[in-house]
Amino acid sequence: MGCLAELYYNLDDTDHDSINKFLSSLVERALVELEASSCIGIGDDGSSIEALTLGRISSYYYLNHLTVRMFQDNLTPNSSLEELLTMLSDAHEYAELPVRHNEDQINSELAPRLPLAVNPHSYDSAHTKAHLLFQAHFSQSTLPSTDYLTDTKSVLDQAIRILQAMLDATADQGNLIPALHVINLVQMVVQGRWAHESSLLILPHIHSYNLHCIRYVGDKTGKKRTAIESLPELMAYAEDRFELLLEMLEGEIERKEISQVYTVLQQLPVIDVKMTVRGWWEGETGQVEKMVPMSHKGGSRPDKDWIPVHADQEYVLNVELRRANKVKKHDSKAYTSRFPKPKDEGWFLVIGEVDKKELIALKRVGYVRNRTNVQLALYTPEIPGRVIYTLYLMSDAYLGLDQQYDICLDVVPASIEAQVNTELKEELEGLDF
């Protein structure tokens, strides 16, 4: 056994000192690698170790440190969805995806049928194959063999946690655009559709050649008009009115298929949003909660829409999510016909400043059964002036159900009184009486 251990582990000997030296060297190399990946920080004394943000992300999502290192090296403030898809495919977790005998040739034949080009010299790469499988999944392309179906399930099974880690990494950098794109990628993976396609295509039995029946709806006078372009519009049109959907699709698909479309439409979440800003204002004797106006339809903002807030101060944005359509079954599962396993409905709340492409806050929200209240910390700019933050409510399962609302802040000079009251409240909340 001693000789086998020496050969396998490249040990000089199997005595206590040799094993101790080997293990110390192994740990040291691991720490150097983790530090190079910005997962840990090693103190100046060489013995203290601190977990860094990327290390926590890697550990939480069970990812190889090389994956989060790749995120750090490649994520930029303007990363496109196509670039993020390449990063997803390049994750170390896909390094062992099998590329079997002659599959490089199969990959070369599959690639021209898909919309995004890949390196033609890398058809034998596991990462290139992962990229092609993602594209085929989004395009609903026919795969060349049952092995590719099995591989697609394996790729999709790991994709969500990799994308969740990618989202946390880009949020830590404060980049708004790639964060929104990553969420779009999550939706694409779950629904098996491209984000730029009509959201109506996530419905069962609905294909691009059926869309003309949905988009052109007869009004009460019998005249045709373009009325429905998106999933929320069809949900509103056919709400509790099966006969309208039947009239629209009869002759295009079977009646039982229309019933399945109707069932899915009734189950899709309709979420109403209300927002308030809570905090301290100068001259107030306690905390005040102010409603965020949300009825603006476009054009310049009236003065009444601007909420005065003090500069350089923390406020709390309270977001109330209320499910408007009551489902009969208390089932939190999303409709995911092309995802290999059941998935709960969930949401992302993102606050960003569009002009600066800056992400201000990110929070995940679970299934909204009736009503859910979510609180996000909101830090105002240091310089007075008007600023618009945007709240994005984005599904983690569906394409086409996202919402966004502007939060118009009129930043007035900082108030020592308000800041002291805010800090005092935080300190009191931290005490255990």
Is the pLDDT confidence value at 43 over 90? Answer: no
We report the CATH number of the domain holding residue 135 as 1.10.3380.10
In this structure, the answer to whether residues 152 and 228 fall within a common structural domain is: no
Kindly state whether residue 5 falls inside one of the protein's structural domains.
no
Is the pLDDT confidence value at 226 over 70? Answer: no
User: If you ran DSSP here, which 8-state letter would residue 281 be given?
Assistant: -
Buried b (16+ CB within 10 A) or exposed e, 202-218: bbeebeeebbebbbebe
In this structure, the answer to whether residues 77 and 209 fall within a common structural domain is: no
Q: Which domain holds residue 210?
A: 199-267
Q: How would residue 180 be classed by pLDDT, with cut points 50, 70 and 90? A: very high
Q: How would residue 9 be classed by pLDDT, with cut points 50, 70 and 90? A: low
Taking only the tens place, the pLDDT of each residue in 194-203 is 999 999 999 9
**Considering only 8-22, 155-169, 285-299, 355-369, which range has the smallest mean pLDDT?**
8-22
- Total domain count for the chain? 3
> Domain boundary residue among 159, 191, 223?
191
We report the CATH number of the domain holding residue 331 as 2.60.40.150
Kindly state whether residue 399 falls inside one of the protein's structural domains.
yes
Number of Cα atoms under 13 Å in the Cβ half of residue 48: 4
**Considering only 6-15, 117-126, 242-251, 347-356, which range has the smallest mean pLDDT?**
6-15
Report phi then psi at 279, rounded to 5: 170, -165
> Domain boundary residue among 154, 169, 191?
191
Q: Which residue has the higher pLDDT, 426 or 134?
A: 134
User: If you ran DSSP here, which 8-state letter would residue 387 be given?
Assistant: E
Report phi then psi at 108, rounded to 5: -65, -30
pLDDT of residue 330: 65
> Domain boundary residue among 267, 294, 321?
267
Q: Which residues contact 273 (CB under 8 A, 6 or more apart)?
A: 294, 319, 320, 321, 322, 391, 393, 403, 405
Q: How would residue 10 be classed by pLDDT, with cut points 50, 70 and 90? A: low
Is the pLDDT confidence value at 431 over 60? Answer: no
Kindly state whether residue 244 falls inside one of the protein's structural domains.
yes
pLDDT of residue 216: 62
In this structure, the answer to whether residues 227 and 143 fall within a common structural domain is: no
In this structure, the answer to whether residues 279 and 396 fall within a common structural domain is: yes
Q: Over the chain, what is the mean pLDDT?
A: 88
pTM for the whole thing?
0.90
For residues 385 and 366, give the distance between their C-alpha atoms in angstroms, rounded to a whole number: 35
pLDDT of residue 433: 46
